[in-house]
């Protein structure tokens, strides 16, 4: 009986330790005003189109304990390498929202636009990662957008974005990995959901 109590006590300690470590690591990034400030600081060189890979060193160090934020910063560094400033702006907005809320937005359009950009620069692994994210998130996003559109009846044309994302996924599946700048821009502008 005593061994069972010790075993239960030991398991509880392990579980609480894991929960504490998970929350401790997450709290270092999510809601961190210093990281928010660094993101805002990066908007100045972004606006003047002088942002470089090195400008992200501090931010990269600040978010290294959070895999979602870290992955996004690594993509931002690649986008800076290729001077894809409009996509950096979208990525910084995505990162800002994530740091503020701790929720990763569902953005298959954003992911597909990055797929095309990374593919065009030969960054195939990063492109494919964005493609898989878009494929996974599109059904969830589409369901939420249909519900949102029926509830709020806004001026936003979610059906157009849904058709564009679906069409892009179909083209890629059929081997067409190219898109026009207009199509990429439209994908990037597709709304995100939480």
Domain that holds residue 136: 108-188
**79 & 4 share domain:** yes
| pLDDT tens for the chain, residues 1 to 194 | 666 665 554 444 556 555 544 554 445 899 999 999 999 999 888 787 888 999 999 999 999 999 999 999 999 999 999 999 989 988 999 899 999 999 988 999 999 999 999 999 999 999 999 999 999 999 999 998 877 776 666 666 788 899 999 999 999 999 999 999 999 999 999 988 88
**40 & 67 share domain:** yes
**132 & 98 share domain:** no
**60 & 115 share domain:** no
User: How far apart are alpha carbons 147 and 106 in whole angstroms?
Assistant: 15
**86 & 117 share domain:** no
Question: How many separate domains does the chain show?
Answer: 2
Residue 69 lies in a domain: yes
**28 & 73 share domain:** yes
- The pTM of the whole model exceeds 0.85: no
Residue 193 lies in a domain: no
**99 & 166 share domain:** no
**79 & 144 share domain:** no
**122 & 149 share domain:** yes
**10 & 81 share domain:** yes
**100 & 138 share domain:** no
**33 & 84 share domain:** yes
């Amino acid at each position: 009986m005593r061994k069972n109590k010790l075993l239960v006590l030991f398991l509880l300690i392990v579980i609480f330790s894991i929960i504490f470590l998970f929350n401790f690591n997450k709290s270092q990034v999510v809601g961190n005003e210093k990281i928010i400030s660094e993101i805002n600081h990066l908007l100045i060189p972004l606006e003047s189109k002088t942002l470089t890979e090195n400008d992200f060193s501090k931010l990269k160090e600040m978010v290294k304990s959070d895999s979602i934020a870290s992955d996004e910063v690594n993509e931002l560094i690649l986008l800076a390498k290729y001077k894809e400033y409009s996509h950096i702006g979208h990525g910084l907005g995505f990162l800002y929202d994530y740091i503020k809320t701790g929720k990763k937005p569902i953005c298959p359009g954003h992911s597909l636009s990055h797929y095309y950009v990374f593919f065009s620069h030969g960054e195939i692994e990063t492109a494919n990662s964005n493609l898989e994210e878009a494929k996974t998130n599109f059904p969830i996003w589409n369901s939420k957008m249909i519900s949102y559109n029926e509830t709020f009846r806004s001026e936003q044309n979610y059906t157009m974005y849904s058709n564009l994302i679906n069409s892009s996924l179909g083209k890629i599946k059929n081997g067409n990995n190219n898109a026009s700048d207009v199509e990429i821009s439209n994908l990037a502008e597709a709304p995100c959901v939480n």
